[in-house]
């Protein structure tokens, strides 16, 4: 059993060649995946003269953090020259409530849909599931009018409303699929003991739910942070999220292109979700595959 899986009949040399082949392919792929982030990082640390010399793949001669400082606090985006910082904060203010509220609602409705199989529960679930797949172009025109009607057009509050609503489909899907595997006897027994709907949720289900809460929070955070269409459609100027501000910075044509500042800004915008991925990648993968291993 401890013996590694050598192919019966294959001799040692062929096996070695096979391993070499596998490793070559895997490492080549790793280089291709890491390439872009390496180029972006090294460009962000070079000065403009070095960049114009055209040594794209070379390491920077010396580490120069000026571009990072400028991207964070003084680069001009539109008419404002305060760097990415205010927009970064917008994205933080936008993400925290939308993630928290949609996860809470998803937990409750997923719990109700999975453990109390009332009539129509499956149809309701199917209708909610379809909401995960719609192209959001289909809702932006009515949403723009509705946000105006609610008095939250061009504001972070408006984006929080939008992200919360369209996050519910996903969070409900996560929790419903998680709770489906909880034995119904558990709920029945608790009901016999006189526990009500919310007490069962609070005392029995929530303590079981830590992994799926993490999955839901990470998924929603990644989605909301990286989102662009809603931000670009519903906000302008000072209330834009970081993805929209980054795009405006990159595509501004007014001044001399500062590639190092652009690249530093891209990394700043990507940093939060990258950090979450590196710390909790396992849960991130579960969120990604939950949509595929549906139910």
Partner 1 sequence: MSHPQQRKQQMSVLDRLQRYLPQLVVAPPFLLLVFFVYGFIAWTGIISLTNSRMLPTFDVQGIQQYVRLLAMDRWNVAFDNLLIFGSLYILFSITIGCVLAVLLDQRIRAEGALRTIYLYPMAISFIVTGTAWKWILNPSLGIESYMQKLGWESFQFDWIVNRDMAIYVVVIAAVWQASGFVMALFLSALRTVDEDIIRAAHLDGASTTRIYFGIILPSLRPVFLSAFVILAHLSIKSFDLVVALTNGGPGYSSTLPANFMYEMAFRRNQIGLGAASAMMMLATVAAIIVPYLYSELRAKRHG
- Binders of partner 1 among residues 140 to 199 (CB under 8 A) are 140-143, 145, 165-166, 168-169, 172, 196-198
Residue 215 binds to partner 1 (criterion: CB under 8 A): no
Both tokens of 272, joined, read 């939060």
State how far the alpha carbon of 176 is from the alpha carbons of 69, 106, 117, 170, 216, in Å: 45, 8, 11, 10, 12
Smaller CB distance to partner 1: residue 74 or 191? 191
In whole angstroms, the minimum distance from the beta carbon of 256 to partner 1 comes to 13
In whole angstroms, the minimum distance from the beta carbon of 102 to partner 1 comes to 9
112 secondary structure, DSSP code: H
Cα-Cα-Cα-Cα dihedral sign, residues 171, 177, 182, 187: positive
Contact criterion met (CB below 8 Å) for 76 and 252: yes
Q: Which stretch binds partner 1 (CB under 8 A): 5-13, 63-71, 73-81, 82-90?
A: 5-13
Smaller CB distance to partner 1: residue 3 or 185? 3
d(CA 169, CA 133): 9
In whole angstroms, the minimum distance from the beta carbon of 38 to partner 1 comes to 10
d(CA 154, CA 235): 4
Contacts with partner 1 in 232-251 (CB under 8 A)? 232-233, 243, 246-247, 250-251
Residue 13 binds to partner 1 (criterion: CB under 8 A): no
The footprint of partner 1 on this chain (CB under 8 A) covers a number of residues equal to 102
Residue 222 binds to partner 1 (criterion: CB under 8 A): yes
User: In angstroms, how far is CA 249 from the centroid of its own chain?
Assistant: 22
């Amino acid at each position: 059993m401890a013996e590694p899986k050598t192919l019966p009949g294959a001799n040692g040399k062929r096996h070695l060649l096979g391993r070499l082949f596998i490793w070559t392919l895997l490492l080549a792929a790793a280089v291709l995946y890491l390439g872009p982030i390496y180029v972006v990082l090294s460009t962000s640390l070079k000065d403009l003269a070095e960049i114009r010399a055209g040594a794209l793949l070379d390491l920077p001669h010396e580490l120069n953090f000026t571009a990072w400082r400028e991207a964070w606090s003084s680069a001009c985006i539109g008419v404002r020259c305060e760097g990415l910082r205010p927009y970064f904060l917008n994205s933080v203010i936008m993400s925290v409530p939308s993630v928290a509220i949609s996860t809470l609602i998803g937990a409750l409705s997923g719990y109700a849909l999975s453990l109390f199989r009332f009539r129509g529960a499956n149809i309701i679930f199917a209708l909610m599931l379809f909401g995960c797949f719609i192209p959001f172009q289909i809702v932006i025109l009515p949403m723009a009018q509705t946000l105006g009607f609610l008095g939250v057009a061009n504001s972070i509050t408006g984006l929080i409303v939008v992200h919360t609503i369209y996050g519910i489909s996903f969070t409900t899907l996560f929790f419903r699929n998680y709770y489906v595997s909880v034995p119904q006897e558990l709920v029945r027994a608790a009901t016999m003991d006189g526990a009500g709907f919310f007490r069962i949720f609070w005392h029995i289900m929530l303590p079981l739910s830590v992994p799926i809460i993490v999955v839901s929070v990470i998924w929603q955070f990644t989605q909301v942070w990286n989102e662009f269409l809603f931000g670009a459609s519903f906000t302008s100027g000072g209330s834009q999220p970081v993805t929209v501000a980054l795009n405006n910075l990159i595509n501004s044509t007014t001044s001399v292109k500062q590639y190092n500042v652009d690249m530093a800004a891209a990394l700043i915008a990507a940093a939060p979700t990258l950090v979450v991925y590196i710390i909790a990648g396992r849960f991130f993968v579960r969120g990604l595959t939950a949509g595929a291993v549906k139910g």
